[in-house]
Structure 1
Amino acid sequence: MGFARACALADIREDEALGVTIEGQDVAVARHGDEVFAVEDLCSHAAVALSEGEVDDCTIECWLHGSRFDLRTGKPTSFPATEAVATFPVDVRGDDVYVDIQSTLNGVVPA
């Protein structure tokens, strides 16, 4: 299906994440500076929403056990997580954010 609208750009605060559902897939959309990222909204360690965690310097932290994931690659940058989360292509069109959940940037298949 390609890109689908996830949210308005204004809905995502600087260095925060917003949980959205696109065609049944939970996605955390995060903003750091002028960059917008989309990752699977499910920690690979504890299966809780990453969108409820903190965003800092292109990483998102799982609120439950503190695992951090690189928003660009989905790879964990701290324990206890050892598995990457899926990352999705993002396209900002004017004031709207679009995400392609049919493709992953890192080859990880969402849970």
Structure 2
Amino acid sequence: MSDATGDLPLDPAAEDLEWYRVCSVGEIEDEEPFFDTVGGRSLMAVRQGARIAVFDDRCPHLGASMVGATVEDGQVECPLHGACFDASSGSVLDGPTTQDLVCHPMRVSDSAQVEVGLSRPDRTP
């Protein structure tokens, strides 16, 4: 397995994660956020070409859902107040927040399934 770019090894800390299927690669439209609840977490997956990133479905500004977000030119824009984030890392680029989107480790399985790594309940600090 590899990360979404297919050329980087998985982080060694991945052993401490529980891996969940989010969707198949084909279910995520390019520049159209995909939303689902996985492992008890509401998530947003974003695809730009071959790159996929998985974030919490929550804008750090006021905690609003990102449903209705737009993805364009490498940026995700919150539908509530227009905060902009990097579509690969979740780093804040502009807007009323100074906090990044929570970005989760992810991988693509050999069968083209997008999987997200979430902290195991027994290992949460």
TMscore range, shorter length = 0.7 to 0.9
What is the total number of aligned residue pairs between the two structures? 103
**Identical residues among aligned pairs (%):** 26
Shift of 1:57: 2.7
1:31 to 47, 52, 68: 47
Separation in structure 2 between the aligned mates of residue 7 and residue 46 of structure 1, nearest angstrom: 27
Within the alignment, does 1:97 sit opposite 2:114 as a pair?
A: yes
SS of the aligned residue for 1:46 comes to coil
Shift of 1:58: 2.7
Listed one character per residue, the Cα deviations across residues 47-84 of structure 1 (whole Å, up to 9, x for unaligned) are 22224201123321101111011133322111111111
Amino acid aligned to 1:96: Q
CA-atom RMSD, angstroms? Answer: 1.6
> Residue in 1 aligned with 2:6?
none
Native 8 Å contact 1:38 1:71 kept in 2: no
> Residue in 2 aligned with 1:48?
64
Within the alignment, does 1:79 sit opposite 2:95 as a pair?
A: yes
Shift of 1:36: 0.7
Amino acid aligned to 2:118: I
Structure number with larger C-alpha Rg: 2
Native 8 Å contact 1:71 1:87 kept in 2: no
Separation in structure 1 between the aligned mates of residue 62 and residue 68 of structure 2, nearest angstrom: 13
Q: Could you tell me the TM-score, scaled by structure 2's length?
A: 0.74
Native 8 Å contact 2:54 2:116 kept in 1: yes
Q: Could you tell me the TM-score, scaled by structure 1's length?
A: 0.83
Q: Would the alpha carbon gap of residues 41 and 13 (structure 1) be closer, same or farther in structure 2, given more than 3 Å must change?
A: same
